[in-house]
């Protein structure tokens, strides 16, 4: 067996239990340290039983648990802080997370295990499914029991680990023994320890969902809260990183003879050195190379290390989204995702790992999984977006390939026709068209984009050189059609070939049956060349699940014209719709720049904005955003959104809507970030955005809208890096709204400022001795209270990226919110010579009854101090 790691020398241990910390006494450190050590002694005896229940597994004894202090220190040193209480909870969770992989974790051993559903499922499966009698399940043979025990323990170990912190074991004397002797500590922290231990088996999303609330301090022992998400993330990363040779001692392998997949685990782990970190990347190295006979073990190491990489990335995203400044020193694993790269640190000998192309045998399954609702969600209108995108690419290609075509040439016709067999959606373009080779090749080759294939250069030489830049990049958009219909016809003719070259590709049962290729009959193909797609819709377009049904309100039905215009609001290809026997222009090439303001907003929001949004709205504030060459990058105005979610304008990709914004109405031109093209970031630069936001501030300041609305707009202007100018940002007393300039002047003549940064006061049931109705109608704030509106100015969040913050992460106060701005104004007005306290004060009355709230009080130390502010608006 390997020697027990000296965990007491790790950074994490010494940081929590040895080194001085602010507001932490040595007595507190000693208290939690001693309780951990006492628990460790008992847990060591528990995990020592694992080897008997799970033969062949790599080491899971106390040496493994101790080593997790080392791997946790590796990723946390200098990156986060941890209190003694948190260190105890973390350590206890480490002790328990794998402890239930033995029968000893169950008070009644095998008897308890046999009562679980997992046991019955496992035994049934081992017996061959349903072909057995109930007696054989209830009383399986010793052979079946020996096979079932490790499998069930593996399935349930994380779930059972949740119980171990509070679970008792009866002694021979009739006493109940616990892993945590201290009853108060066990009662207070036991549930949290169990949840964190269990969480190492959860998805990261579940960790965020179930552990998001911190646990308060254990009164009388500590003032430190328990950040449960932080500790859960630390546990799962520390556990994932412990892959070195201490988990697989060579002599132990020689005497235990692991078999199958277990042998491969031993083979690769016995070679690995302890990981280290280089430039935010964990680096795994091997002391001995992998010979060709050990190739399977190398690939298992590759898969395991790639999984560690995914774990690091998922945890990093979670911790960043928590917005607490938490992160680990490592955010990825060097070489993960590339066999060739990993082989540079984990060497092979006599062979070379190559990421060869995979073969996919079940194409229909892949298409249904990745080309339909799993990728695009359950919104049927994305199908139309994808088809418009394909047609737009075809028209752009013809514009470039055929000399003399104008930039506005080409059109798409979308039709909705009721026939005897149902509703047919048809989309036709006069683009470049497809030859039979393309129709039967890249079009139905899932994941292959024609525009990025060698065939594109063969079919249309010189097209790429002429600036062809297709919206479609992934070769999967066409397959979205099977979300809304199984009977699909694709009729296409290359523009430069005769009618005899037109072909029909028909899918009669989605991707289940083979498509049928036939020559188009006379008059069936587009007259001027191009492509037409015909889809027999599964659902009536005006009922639930239909393309015209408004899924959000469930009350209104869009017209086809409204739907198409909202999907492609700034397309540079004209679209015409045919519905009910009539034809209407839906979008003209580039018309979004010249549409009246109200018409553009109606196009983007066909049902209009809610009444709340109308409050303070002035569409006359809409302005274009241009780059340095005059190219339009957007047309929008600031309009504060509701508290919940994105309900503003749109970021578009190639003229098609993608991401919904908050706080900005109108549209911004963007670039795609995902294969489904439902996520995009605007292309506008920070300078262009700041100039537009500054102009918005001037327009809004001069508008006839209420002051609270203007203050919320100021928050958005700040977020966009603009100058808020004369916009009001704070209210003193009942209705005295002031700009930065006015606030600065007023602060120069005062020595105390009482501020609430939580927005206007609202009724609080626990503290207010008045009726809610009276509070709403009769609350009168005192004149010296300053109220700073609380409104998120955020515009767009895509994955880990917050926009526009991503444009300039080093912005100064422009990247602040109103609360931070007020603090800066005070600091500069009083030359930083002041004190700040949180106090409970009377902030107003309701029919004479005082209303008390906790507010922030700024007091100037030297009343004569103060100078002209250097703050620039």
Residue 403 belongs to domain with CATH number: 3.30.565.10
Number of domains in the chain: 5
Q: Quote the CA–CA distance of 707 and 681 in Å, as a whole number.
A: 31
Mean pLDDT of 798-816: 70
Buried b (16+ CB within 10 A) or exposed e, 666-693: bbbbbebbebbbbbbbbbbbbebbbbbb
Q: Is the same domain home to 293 and 419?
A: no
Chain-wide mean pLDDT for the chain? 85
DSSP 8-state symbol, 427: E
pLDDT digits 0-9 by tens, 267-325: 889 999 999 999 889 999 999 999 988 988 999 999 999 999 999 999 888 887 776 66
Q: Is residue 790 assigned to a domain?
A: yes
Least confident among 6-15, 45-54, 489-498, 601-610: 601-610
Residue 587 has pLDDT above 50, yes or no: yes
Q: Helix or strand or coil: residue 86?
A: helix
Q: Is residue 347 assigned to a domain?
A: no
CB-neighbour burial class of residue 521 (10 A; exposed 0-12, middle 13-18, buried 19+): exposed
Q: Quote the CA–CA distance of 581 and 482 in Å, as a whole number.
A: 26
* Band (749; pLDDT cuts 50, 70, 90): confident
Mean pLDDT of 643-661: 84
Q: Is the same domain home to 215 and 66?
A: yes
Kindly write down the DSSP assignment for every residue of 279-325, as one continuous string. Answer: TTEEE--BSSPEEGGGHHHHHHHHHHHHHHHHHHHHHHHHHHHTTSS
The whole-number pLDDT of residue 636 equals 95
Dihedral sign for Cα atoms in the order 562, 563, 567, 572: negative
Q: Is the same domain home to 180 and 49?
A: yes
Buried b (16+ CB within 10 A) or exposed e, 472-491: bebbbbbbbbbbbbbbbbbb
Dihedral sign for Cα atoms in the order 180, 181, 185, 186: positive
* Band (726; pLDDT cuts 50, 70, 90): very high
* Band (446; pLDDT cuts 50, 70, 90): low
pLDDT greater at residue 646 or residue 7: 7
Q: Is residue 359 assigned to a domain?
A: no
Q: Is the same domain home to 285 and 235?
A: no
CB 370 within 8 Å of CB 480: no
Residue 630 has pLDDT above 80, yes or no: yes
pLDDT digits 0-9 by tens, 240-272: 999 988 888 888 888 888 888 888 888 889 999
Q: Is residue 191 assigned to a domain?
A: yes
Residue 131 has pLDDT above 70, yes or no: no
Mean pLDDT of 330-345: 91
Q: Is the same domain home to 843 and 729?
A: yes
Kindly write down the DSSP assignment for every residue of 572-587, as one continuous string. Answer: SSEEEEEETTEEEEEE
Q: Where are the alpha helices (DSSP H) in 663-756?
A: 686-702, 707-719, 740-748
DSSP lists the bridge partners of residue 610 as: none
Residue 4 has pLDDT above 90, yes or no: no
Mean pLDDT of 491-506: 90
* Band (467; pLDDT cuts 50, 70, 90): low
Kindly write down the DSSP assignment for every residue of 723-748, as one continuous string. Answer: --TT---EEETTTEEE-HHHHHHHHH
pLDDT digits 0-9 by tens, 412-441: 999 999 999 999 999 999 999 988 888 877
Mean pLDDT of 131-154: 83
Q: Is the same domain home to 288 and 261?
A: yes
The whole-number pLDDT of residue 792 equals 86
CB 531 within 8 Å of CB 431: yes
Q: Is the same domain home to 821 and 774?
A: yes
Domain boundary among 522, 550, 578: 550
CB 69 within 8 Å of CB 5: yes
Residue 112 Ramachandran class (φ > 0 left, ψ -120 to 50 alpha, else beta): alpha
Q: What are phi and psi of 488, to 5 degrees?
A: -135, 135
* Band (551; pLDDT cuts 50, 70, 90): low
Cβ partners under 8 Å of residue 760, min gap 6: 708, 787, 789
pLDDT over 90 percentage in the chain? 52
Dihedral sign for Cα atoms in the order 187, 193, 195, 197: negative
The whole-number pLDDT of residue 507 equals 86
Take residue 323 and report the two structure tokens written for it.
Answer: 């917005």
CB 860 within 8 Å of CB 751: yes
Kindly write down the DSSP assignment for every residue of 447-473, as one continuous string. Answer: T--GGGSHHHHHHSTTTGGGT---S--
Q: Is the same domain home to 610 and 526?
A: no
Q: Is the same domain home to 538 and 624?
A: no
Domain boundary among 242, 262, 281: 242
Residue 609 has pLDDT above 70, yes or no: no
C-beta atoms surrounding 588 within 10 Å: 17
Report strand pairing: 176-178 vs 168-170.
antiparallel
Least confident among 247-251, 485-489, 763-767: 247-251
Least confident among 271-280, 464-473, 778-787: 464-473
Mean pLDDT of 462-481: 66
Q: Is residue 582 assigned to a domain?
A: no
Q: Is residue 164 assigned to a domain?
A: yes
Residue 722 has pLDDT above 70, yes or no: yes
The whole-number pLDDT of residue 866 equals 43
Q: Is the same domain home to 45 and 146?
A: yes
pLDDT digits 0-9 by tens, 679-705: 788 999 999 999 999 999 999 999 888
Take residue 198 and report the two structure tokens written for it.
Answer: 């269990």
Q: Is residue 461 assigned to a domain?
A: yes
Q: Is the same domain home to 370 and 495?
A: yes
Domain boundary among 636, 651, 684: 684
Q: Is the same domain home to 152 and 286?
A: no
pLDDT digits 0-9 by tens, 10-59: 999 999 999 998 889 999 999 999 999 999 999 999 999 988 888 877 87
Q: Quote the CA–CA distance of 677 and 659 in Å, as a whole number.
A: 9
Range of the domain at 258: 243-331
Least confident among 540-544, 606-610, 808-812: 808-812
Q: Is residue 692 assigned to a domain?
A: no
Q: How far apart are the first and last CA of the chain?
A: 68
Residue 407 has pLDDT above 50, yes or no: yes
């Amino acid at each position: 067996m390997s020697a027990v790691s000296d965990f007491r020398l790790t950074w994490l241990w010494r940081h929590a239990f040895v080194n001085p910390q602010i507001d932490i006494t040595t007595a507190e450190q000693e208290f939690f340290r001693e309780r951990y050590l006492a628990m460790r002694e008992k847990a060591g005896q528990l995990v020592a039983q694992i080897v008997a229940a799970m033969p062949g597994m790599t080491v899971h004894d106390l040496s493994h648990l101790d080593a997790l202090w080392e791997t946790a220190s590796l990723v946390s040193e200098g990156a986060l802080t941890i209190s003694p209480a948190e260190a105890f909870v973390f350590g206890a969770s480490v002790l328990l997370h794998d402890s239930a992989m033995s029968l000893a974790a169950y008070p009644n051993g095998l008897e308890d295990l046999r009562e679980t559903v997992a046991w019955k499922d496992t035994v049934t499966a081992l017996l061959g499914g349903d072909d057995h009698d109930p007696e054989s399940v209830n009383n399986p043979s010793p052979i079946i029991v020996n096979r079932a025990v490790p499998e069930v323990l593996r399935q349930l170990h994380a779930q059972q680990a949740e119980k171990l912190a509070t679970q008792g074991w009866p002694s021979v004397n009739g006493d109940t023994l616990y892993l945590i002797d201290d009853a108060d500590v066990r009662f207070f922290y036991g549930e949290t320890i169990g949840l964190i231990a269990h969480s190492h088996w959860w998805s990261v999303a579940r960790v965020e969902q179930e552990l998001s609330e911190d646990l308060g301090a254990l009164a009388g022992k500590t003032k430190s809260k328990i950040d449960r998400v932080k500790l859960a993330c630390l546990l799962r990363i520390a556990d994932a990183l412990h892959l070195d040779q201490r988990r697989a001692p060579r002599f132990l392998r020689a005497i235990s003879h692991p078999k199958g997949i277990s042998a491969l685990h031993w083979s690769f782990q016995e070679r690995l050195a302890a990981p280290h970190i280089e430039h935010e990347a964990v680096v795994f190295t091997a002391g001995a190379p992998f010979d060709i006979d050990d190739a399977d073990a190398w690939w298992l190491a590759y898969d395991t290390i790639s999984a560690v990489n995914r774990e690091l990335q998922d945890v990093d995203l979670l911790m960043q989204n928590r917005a607490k400044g938490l992160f680990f020193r490592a955010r990825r694993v060097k070489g993960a995702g590339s066999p060739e790269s990993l082989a540079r640190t984990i060497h092979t000998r006599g062979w070379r790992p190559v990421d060869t192309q995979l073969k996919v045998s079940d194409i229909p399954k892949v298409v249904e999984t990745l080309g339909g609702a799993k990728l695009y969600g359950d919104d049927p209108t994305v199908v139309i977006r994808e088809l418009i995108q394909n047609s737009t690419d075809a028209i752009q290609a013809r514009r470039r390939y055929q000399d003399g075509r104008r930039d506005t040439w080409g059109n798409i016709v979308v039709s909705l026709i009721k026939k005897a067999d149902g509703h047919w959606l048809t989309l036709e373009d006069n683009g470049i068209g497809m030859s039979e080779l393309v129709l039967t090749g890249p079009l139905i080759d899932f994941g292959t984009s024609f525009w990025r294939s060698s065939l594109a250069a063969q079919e249309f030489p010189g097209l790429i050189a002429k600036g062809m830049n297709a919206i479609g990049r992934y070769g999967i958009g066409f397959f979205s059609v099977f979300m809304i219909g199984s009977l699909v016809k694709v009729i296409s003719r290359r523009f430069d070939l005769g009618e005899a070259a037109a072909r029909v590709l028909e899918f009669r049962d989605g991707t289940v049956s083979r498509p049928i290729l036939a020559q188009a009959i006379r008059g069936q193909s587009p007259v001027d060349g191009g492509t037409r797609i015909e889809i027999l819709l599964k659902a009536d377009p005006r009922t639930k699940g239909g393309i015209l049904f408004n899924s959000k309100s469930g009350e209104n039905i869009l017209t086809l014209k409204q739907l198409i215009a909202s999907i492609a609001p700034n397309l540079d290809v004209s679209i015409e719709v045919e519905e009910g026997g009539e034809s209407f222009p839906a979008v003209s090439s580039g018309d979004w720049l010249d549409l009246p303001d109200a018409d553009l907003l109606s196009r983007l929001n066909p049902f209009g904005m809610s009444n709340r949004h109308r409050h303070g709205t002035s569409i006359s504030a809409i302005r274009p955003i241009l780059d340095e060459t005059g190219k339009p990058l957007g047309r929008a105005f600031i309009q504060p959104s509701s508290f919940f979610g994105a309900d503003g304008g749109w970021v578009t990709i190639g003229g098609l809507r993608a991401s919904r914004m908050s706080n900005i109405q109108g549209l911004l031109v963007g670039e795609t970030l995902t294969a489904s093209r439902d996520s995009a970031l605007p292309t506008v630069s920070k300078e262009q955005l700041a100039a537009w936001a500054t102009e918005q501030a001037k327009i809004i300041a001069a508008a006839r809208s209420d002051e609270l609305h203007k203050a919320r707009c100021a928050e958005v202007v700040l977020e966009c890096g603009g100058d808020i100018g004369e916009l009001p940002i704070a209210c003193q007393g009942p209705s005295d709204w002031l700009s930065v300039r006015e606030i600065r002047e007023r602060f120069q003549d005062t020595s105390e400022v009482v501020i609430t940064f939580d927005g206007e006061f609202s009724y609080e049931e626990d503290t207010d001795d008045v009726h809610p109705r009276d509070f709403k109608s009769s609350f009168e704030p005192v004149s010296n209270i300053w109220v700073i509106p609380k409104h998120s100015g955020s515009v767009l969040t895509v994955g880990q990226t917050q926009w526009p913050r991503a444009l300039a992460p080093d912005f100064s106060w422009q990247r602040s919110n109103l609360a931070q701005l007020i603090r800066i104004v005070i600091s500069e007005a009083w030359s930083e010579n002041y004190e700040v306290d949180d106090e409970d004060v009377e902030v107003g009355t309701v029919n004479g009854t005082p209303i008390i709230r906790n507010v922030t009080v700024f007091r100037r130390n030297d009343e004569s101090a103060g100078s002209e502010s250097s703050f620039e608006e």
